[in-house]
């Protein structure tokens, strides 16, 4: 089966994260206002600034925190498409990844 654009982009993101990109995992937005602040930062980025998105949203390629949170449980995660459906991110992801815009 040929790779889709989503697959290729997911692999690219995995490589970027695997190479040790430093992202802003903290502070975790405690409430909606802080969450909105992160979204505002994301909206100000150029639409093709993939690394910028990953940095601002605090992406990591593994579960995170005491509760080992991961994309798999996040409400923005589409299981079958392996996709983050938050409009400000809208990127292919892996279920074991995480970012600070995690919500359930």
Partner 1 sequence: MANLLWLQGGACSGNTMSFLNAEEPSACDLVTDFGINVLWHPSLGMELGDNLQQLLRKCISGEIKLDIFVFEGTVVNAPNGTGEWNRFAGRPMRDWVRELSDAADFVVAIGDCATWGGIPATAPNPSESQGLQFLKRGHGGYLGAEFKSKAGLPVINIPGCPAHPDWVTQILVAVATGRAGDLALDEFQRPKTFFQSFTQTGCTRNMHFAYKVSATEFGQRKGCLFYDLGCRGPMTHSPCNRILWNRVSSKTRAGMPCMGCTEPEFPFFDLAPGTVFKTQTVMGVPKELPEGVDKTGYIKLTGAAKAAAPAWAEQDIFVV
Site residues, partner 1 (CB under 8 A): 28-33, 35-36, 69, 72-73, 75-81, 85-87, 102-104
Helix H or strand E encompassing 97: none
Measured CA to CA, the distance from residue 85 to residue 53 in angstroms comes to 14
For the bound state, the minimum distance from the C-beta of residue 15 to partner 1, rounded and expressed in Å, comes to: 26
Q: 89: which residues sit within 8 A by CB, 6+ positions away?
A: 42, 53, 57, 76, 99, 101
Q: Of 91, 42, 96, 93, whose CA–CA distance to 73 is shortest?
A: 96
Instruction: Tell me how far the alpha carbon of residue 60 is from its chain's centroid.
Output: 8
For the bound state, the minimum distance from the C-beta of residue 85 to partner 1, rounded and expressed in Å, comes to: 6
| Residue among 4 and 15 whose Cβ is closer to partner 1 | 4
| Residue among 6 and 16 whose Cβ is closer to partner 1 | 6
| Residue among 59 and 102 whose Cβ is closer to partner 1 | 102
For the bound state, the minimum distance from the C-beta of residue 18 to partner 1, rounded and expressed in Å, comes to: 25
| Residue among 1 and 104 whose Cβ is closer to partner 1 | 104
């Amino acid at each position: 089966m040929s790779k889709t654009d989503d697959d290729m982009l997911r692999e690219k993101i995995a490589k970027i994260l695997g190479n040790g990109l430093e992202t802003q995992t903290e502070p975790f937005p405690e409430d909606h206002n802080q969450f909105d602040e992160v979204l505002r930062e994301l909206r100000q980025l150029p639409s093709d600034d993939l690394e910028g998105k990953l940095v601002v949203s605090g992406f990591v390629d593994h579960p995170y925190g005491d509760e080992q949170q991961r994309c798999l449980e996040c409400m923005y995660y589409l299981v079958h498409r392996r996709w983050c459906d938050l409009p400000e991110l809208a990127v292919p992801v892996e279920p074991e990844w995480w970012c600070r815009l995690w919500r359930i």
